[in-house]
C-alpha cells in the first residue's frame, strides 16, 4: 500500500512538473520576452495576464498549489535519491544529479522571485510594470542571481520533461529515449534563450 502510494505521488509529481507548471513556465517566459519589443509591449502583455478573470483562483489552483506539492515532494526525493548508475549510463546519471541540484536552486529562486514581485505587488510596495524588473536587475548581483535561477529552472523543466516521458511509458526504447534527449536539449536551449534575453533587456536595455 505504501509503495503504491509513493508510486502514485511520484507520477503525480512528474505530471505536475510538465502540466501545469511547465506550461506556466513557458507562458511566463514568453510574457517576459515582450520586454524585448519595448516597455509598452511588456506592460500590455503583463497587464493582460494580471487582468484575467478569476486570476486569483487560477494562480492558486493551477500555479501555486501544484508548485507547492511539486516542491515538497521534490525536496523529499532529493534526500532519498540513490545513485542510478545501474539503470542509466554516465551522461544520464549526471542528468539525474543535476536534476536534484537544479531543483533546490529553482525552489530558492522561485520563492525569492515571488516575494520580490507578486508579494511586493500584493502589499502595495510595487507595481506590475516594466520598471519593477528593471529596478531589480539593475543590481549586478541580482542580475546574475536571476541568470542562474532562470537557467536552473529551464534545465530542471527540460530534463524533467525527459524523465516524464520515461516515467509515463512514452519513451521506452533506447532509441526513443535518445531522440527525447536531443528534443529536450533543444527545448532547454530555446526556453533559456527566451528567459535570458528578457533579463538582458531589463538590465541593460539592449
Output the domain CATH number for residue 32.
1.20.1300.10
For the entire predicted model, the pTM comes to: 0.93
pLDDT, mean of each 10-residue run, the chain (206 residues): 80 95 96 97 95 91 95 89 62 91 97 95 92 97 98 98 95 96 98 98 96
| pLDDT digit string, tens, across residues 59-107 | 999 999 999 999 999 998 888 876 554 566 788 889 999 999 999 999 9
Cell numbers found for residue 191: 526556453
Average pLDDT, the chain: 93
% of the chain beyond a pLDDT of 90 = 83
Number of domains in the chain: 1
Question: Cα-Cα-Cα-Cα dihedral of 111, 116, 118, 120, to 10°?
Answer: 130
- Domain of residue 34 covers 2-83+90-204
Q: How far is CA 157 from CA 92, 120, 196, in A?
A: 15, 26, 15
CA 128/CA 121 separation, integer angstroms: 7
Sign of the dihedral defined by the CA atoms of residues 22, 153, 159, 64, in that order = negative
- Those residues with Cβ within 8 angstroms of residue 15's Cβ, 6 or more apart along the chain or in another chain: 164, 168
Q: Are 13 and 52 in contact (CB under 8 A)?
A: no
Amino acid at each position: 500500500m505504501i509503495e503504491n502510494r509513493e508510486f502514485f505521488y511520484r507520477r503525480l509529481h512528474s505530471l505536475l512538473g510538465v502540466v501545469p507548471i511547465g506550461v506556466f513556465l513557458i507562458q511566463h517566459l514568453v510574457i517576459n520576452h515582450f520586454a524585448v519589443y519595448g516597455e509598452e509591449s511588456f506592460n500590455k502583455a503583463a497587464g493582460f495576464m494580471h487582468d484575467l478573470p478569476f486570476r486569483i483562483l487560477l494562480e492558486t489552483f493551477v500555479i501555486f498549489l501544484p508548485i507547492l506539492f511539486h516542491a515538497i515532494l521534490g525536496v523529499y526525493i532529493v534526500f532519498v535519491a540513490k545513485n542510478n548508475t545501474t539503470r542509466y549510463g554516465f551522461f544520464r546519471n549526471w542528468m539525474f544529479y543535476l536534476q536534484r541540484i537544479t531543483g533546490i536552486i529553482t525552489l530558492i529562486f522561485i520563492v525569492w522571485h515571488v516575494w520580490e514581485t507578486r508579494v511586493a505587488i500584493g502589499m502595495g510596495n510595487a507595481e506590475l510594470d516594466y520598471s519593477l524588473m528593471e529596478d531589480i536587475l539593475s543590481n549586478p548581483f541580482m542580475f546574475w542571481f536571476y541568470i542562474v535561477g532562470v537557467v536552473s529552472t529551464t534545465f530542471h523543466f527540460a530534463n524533467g520533461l525527459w524523465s516524464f516521458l520515461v516515467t509515463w511509458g512514452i519513451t521506452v526504447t533506447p532509441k526513443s529515449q535518445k531522440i527525447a534527449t536531443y528534443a529536450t536539449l533543444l527545448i532547454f536551449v530555446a526556453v533559456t534563450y527566451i528567459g535570458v534575453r528578457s533579463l538582458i533587456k531589463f538590465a541593460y536595455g539592449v
